[in-house]
Every structure is written in structure tokens, then in C-alpha cells.
């Protein structure tokens, strides 16, 4: 699933190379199992709730909605890859490895995005009855 999200323009072999190079880089830098770091990063980034725009009587409300674990994981992977692409650096493997290590350590742009989503849901809790 991660490889298919990395994929651009149908170049799957390049996506595999990016993933394997980033895993190798994580292993060299942290001296830990890179799959453990990957799982930990995804677990820490996965959101529990999100907000969805609902239009009621001419007004648009941001309604907080709980999301399932599969949808949360997909969102977490999408956020991780998006933050990796925006990160300044040499190549995608390098950027992805640093983003995963940051997320596993509970800091970085992706963690901030998750917290922002949770704050938005908490602030709009009054509109939960519009589900």
C-alpha cells in the first residue's frame, strides 16, 4: 500500500527503490528495525477524528466525524508522503526516511497536522449533531 502511494506516473520499480533506500537509511541512522520505525510512525500519525464540511440551511459547518482505523492509516500514509515531498533535501528516499524518523519520535510536520485536525474537531464539537 505504501509503495502504491509513493508511485508516480506508473513507475513502480522507482517507488520500490525509494522505499528500500529510505529503509536502509533509517536502519543506518537509528540502529533499529526500519519496519518497527515505519509502524511506529504510522501509528503516531493516524488520526482518530476528522472534520467534514456539511451544508445546513445555507451555512457550512465543519462537522467532526470519527474515522475507522483503515481510513486513518490511509490518511496517515498520505500525510507522511505529502510532508516528505514538501521537505527540502536531496532525494525522495532521504526525505521520506527523515520524515518517518521524525514521526516515530513524535515531532515533525505530520504530527503537527494530526494535532491540528484533532483541535479542529474539538473546536467544532458543538456541530456533531449534524452528522
Q: What is the pTM of this model?
A: 0.89
Query: pLDDT over 90 for what percent of the chain?
Result: 73
Query: Measured between alpha carbons, how far is 57 from 71 in angstroms, rounded to an integer?
Result: 29
All three cell numbers of 64:
467532526
Query: Measured between alpha carbons, how far is 72 from 68 in angstroms, rounded to an integer?
Result: 6
For the cut 90, the answer to whether the pLDDT of residue 125 exceeds it is no
- Mean pLDDT over 58-64 rounds to 88
- Mean pLDDT over 80-99 rounds to 92
Q: What is the pLDDT of residues 2-43, one digit of tens each?
A: 899 989 899 999 999 999 999 999 999 999 999 999 999 999
Which domains does the chain carry? 2-130 (1.10.455.10)
Cα 71 from chain centroid? 11
Amino acid at each position: 500500500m505504501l509503495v502504491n502511494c509513493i508511485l508516480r506516473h506508473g513507475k513502480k520499480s522507482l517507488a520500490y527503490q525509494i522505499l528500500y533506500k529510505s529503509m536502509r537509511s533509517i536502519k543506518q541512522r537509528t540502529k533499529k528495525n526500519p519496519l518497527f520505525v515505519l509502524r511506529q510512525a504510522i501509528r503516531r500519525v493516524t488520526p482518530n477524528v476528522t472534520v467534514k464540511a456539511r451544508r445546513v440551511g445555507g451555512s457550512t459547518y465543519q462537522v467532526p466525524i470519527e474515522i475507522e482505523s483503515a481510513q486513518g492509516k490511509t490518511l496517515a500514509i498520505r500525510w507522511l508522503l505529502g510532508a516528505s515531498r514538501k521537505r527540502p533535501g536531496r532525494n525522495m528516499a532521504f526525505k521520506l526516511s527523515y520524515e518517518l524518523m521524525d514521526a516515530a519520535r513524535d515531532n515533525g510536520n505530520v504530527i503537527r497536522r494530526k494535532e491540528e485536525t484533532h483541535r479542529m474537531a474539538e473546536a467544532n464539537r458543538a456541530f456533531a449533531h449534524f452528522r
